[in-house]
Chains A and B, each alone.
Chain A
Amino acid sequence: MKIVLRNPRREVEVQGPVTVSRLLERLELNPESVLVIRGDTLVTRDARLADTDDVEIRPVISGGAA
């Protein structure tokens, strides 16, 4: 499946099916610091992603110190 990552924007291919939790483990991403969006819908960590899904992994950490 095609995975879009942000900041910087890039794409990676991952073999499905795979759960969101396993996908984040593979990509070494902390689930607390991202949202996973399939199409235009949020999915939870136990969701199973199919090879045909378009998936965005969106970082949520932001901000300066001010």
Chain B
Amino acid sequence: MKCRVCREPAVIDVRRHNAGFCGEHFVRHCREQVRRAVDEHSMIEPGERVLVAVSGGKDSLALWDLLVEAGYDTDGLYLGLGIGEYSDHSGAAARAYAGARGLKLHEVDLAADYGYDVPGAAAATRRPPCGACGLSKRHLFNQVALERGYDVVATGHNLDDEAAVLLGNVLRWEAGYLGRQHPVLPARPGFARKVKPLVRLGEREMAAYCVVRGIDYIVEECPMAEGNRHLAYKEALNALEDRSPGTKAAFLLGFLERGHERFAGDAVEEREDLGACTECGSPTTGDVCAFCRLRERAGALHSSGAPDVTVELRR
């Protein structure tokens, strides 16, 4: 197979584009897809400060690399989840990437700074660990962005991630979630803007980008995610993609272009009538926000009316 651009030997085939690319032109392809996503959805304006949510995996490190190369003003934020060796290795990958390039990486550790970890929270709440993990990430990425003056939080959700979420929402006709599923969540009082610049790139492309760019990422899968429904949706979509290349992109990008607006009125208006959490001050529809309720159930928060730890960023 030859590179579509220069006719040199290809290192990666992207079947939905019916194309092969050499390393150099594959990197250009990825940069162009990110540029299109950022421009189409007005994700980041010139001069804005971007906080990149970095897990040490392929998507977040590729995202950080692509945004740095595009000239954006970025810092990273790594969240220690307390998932044994997996967290040790993922943290090391994030630090190594930032250290080798002289980039600034903030770190927050759930156990040291908030008194719980993801496995403990999952056990205490008897809910899937991905729920506690996602809630913690959303809360803390937003909190650090606001405290440190970032305009936007960028996450490494890729085309496969978003297509799998879309499939799950369609299978259950979750109209409210369909109305909120978009590559940009605008800023509102108490919330930084959140963007997903990888929405036009699949996770196979992101892994290939890291290999081509020499980025060491954590290859092993999170042990807590094993067997979850999201991965089953991805497998189903990949089976369709193998038979009919372009299916995932048509499903997701078609929804964003032609379907999303139809559900906008059903969007879950969880940000209306917000008050301040009595524990941490974050916006919430109740007295105590979901993050503090999670901490309380995990045994890390006592009903003293105030957080029992003072959190300071490590770097």
Instruction: Give the B-binding residues of A (Cβ under 8 A).
Output: 6-7, 30-35, 37, 40-47, 58-66
Contact = CB atoms under 8 A, between A and B. Distances in A.
A66 B59 CA distance: 14
B242 A31 contact: yes
Contacts of B129: 64
Interface of B: 1, 10-13, 15, 20, 23, 57-59, 128-131, 133-135, 137-138, 160-161, 165, 168, 203-204, 206-208, 211-212, 219-222, 224-225, 228-231, 234-235, 238-239, 241-242
Contacts of B165: 65
A42 B137 contact: no
Nearest to B234: A61
B231 A61 contact: yes
Given A7-B221, A30-B242, A64-B222, A58 B230 contact: no
Interface SS of chain B: helix
B134 A42 contact: no
Given A42-B211, A44-B1, A64-B222, 20 more contacts: A31-B242, A32-B238, A32-B242, A35-B12, A35-B211, A42-B208, A44-B10, A44-B12, A45-B1, A45-B13, A47-B1, A59-B219, A62-B203, A62-B221, A64-B134, A64-B225, A65-B165, A65-B229, A66-B131, A66-B138
Contacts of B1: 44-47
Contacts of A31: 242
A6 B221 CA distance: 9
A11 to B, nearest CB: 15
Contacts of A42: 11-12, 23, 208, 211-212
Contacts of A35: 12, 204, 207-208, 211
Contact of B220 (A6, A44, A45): A6
A43 B130 CA distance: 34
21 contacts: A30-B242, A32-B241, A33-B235, A33-B238, A35-B204, A41-B11, A42-B12, A42-B211, A44-B12, A44-B13, A47-B1, A60-B203, A60-B204, A62-B59, A62-B203, A63-B222, A63-B231, A64-B133, A65-B128, A66-B134, A66-B138
A62 B224 contact: no
A6 B168 CA distance: 27
Most chain A beta-carbon contacts within 10 A, residue among B20, B138, B204, B228 = B204
A33 B160 CA distance: 10
Given A32-B204, A35-B204, A61 B238 contact: yes
Contact of A65 (B208, B228, B238): B228
Contacts of B203: 60-63
